[in-house]
Copies of this chain bind each other. A is one copy, B any other.
Amino acid sequence: MNDPLLSLLAENRFFAGLTPAEIEDMRAAGTVRRFESGDLIVRQGDPADAFYLIFCGYAKLTQVTPDGHRVLSRFVPPGRGFGLTSILNGYEYVWSAYAVSLCRTWVLHGEKIVQYMERIPKLGINVMSVMVRANRESDRRYQGLLTASVEQRIASALVALSEEVGRETSEGILIDVPLSREDLAEYAGTTLYSVSRVLNRWEADGHVRTGRERVVVCQRDALHEISLHSS
């Protein structure tokens, strides 16, 4: 039969180089789940037992720190997933995942992933590639946060979001999820007030256009520049 999920999996980097039979086999081992915008997908602290691959819509990963601050970890666009921790037993999700739009996911239990990896070495290598990239990504972001000013952090946040969930439009790169000032603040590690001020300044400079829960990056390079050099 003509299976849209199957072809989506086939072109995903998790399954690159696998035979159609192997992919079909794995597809059948997972389940499809659908979430409405705003739905909780997994809760921070729950045992991490499954991997979620988004194939339609966006998910948002947020953490709550012990002293009650919220941190927006990242958005997950179609074709990417979260929950690889599930391949190890005894761990918990470090964030909660919410659907921020109608969201279709393909869910596979961690144990099954391990079973498949034991049978299909290429799968293990693919998974690892994904993890190496993720690691590099957090190393980069980590490094930035430690030394950067608030303005620099907001700039890198927008550059990162352009890649995570950006969509080209005639105006520029639209951040294609509802993104309030507070969301941006939680992503960049600051307050909604500072975000508001910086965004207004940038709007005057033509770097961005903003609206209610909406940001368009017009001059990506300018923001990139700001994120690198101080002041």
Contacts A124-B117, A125-B118, A131-B132; is A71 near B146 (CB within 8 Å)?
yes
Q: Is A141 an interface residue (CB 8 A)?
A: yes
Q: Which of A84-92, A98-106, A202-210 contacts B (4 or more CB under 8 A)?
A: A84-92
Contacts of A63 in B (CB 8 A): 139, 143
A147 to chain B, nearest CB (A): 4
A3 within 8 A of B: no
Q: Mark A127-167, 1 if CB is under 8 A from B, else 0.
A: 11101111110111111111110000000000000000000
Q: Nearest residue in B to A116 (C-beta to C-beta)?
A: B121
Q: Quick check: A142 and B143 within 8 Å, CB to CB?
A: no
| Most chain B C-beta atoms within 10 Å of own C-beta, residue among A69, A94, A121, A141 | A121
CA distance A135 to B131 in the complex (A): 8
Q: What residues of chain B lie closer than 8 Å to A134, measured between beta carbons?
A: 135
- Beta-carbon contacts of A191-231 to B below 8 Å, as 1s and 0s? 00000000000000000000000000000000000001110
A189–B147 contact, CB under 8 A?
yes
Residues on B with C-beta less than 8 A from A85 are 132, 135-136
B127, B129, B142, B145: the one contacting A88 at CB < 8 Å is B129
A139–B230 CA distance with the chains assembled, in angstroms: 25
For residue A143, give the distance in angstroms from its CB to the closest CB of chain B.
5
In the complex, are the beta carbons of A136 and B94 less than 8 A apart? yes
Knowing A118-B122, A121-B124, A229-B66, say if A73 contacts B139 (CB, 8 Å).
Answer: yes
Verify B142–A145 contact, CB threshold 8 A: yes
Q: B91 to A136, Cβ gap below 8 A?
A: yes
A227's nearest neighbour on chain B, judged by CB, is B66
Residues of B within 8 Å of A145, CB to CB, are 142, 145-146, 189
- A65 on the B face (CB < 8 A): yes
Whose C-beta in chain B lies nearest to the C-beta of A94?
Answer: B139
A220 vs chain B, min Cβ distance (A):
16
Q: Mark A165-198, 1 if CB is under 8 A from B, else 0.
A: 0000000000000000000000001000000000
A-B contact pairs, 7 of them (CB 8 A): A63-B143, A69-B147, A71-B143, A88-B133, A94-B139, A95-B139, A118-B122
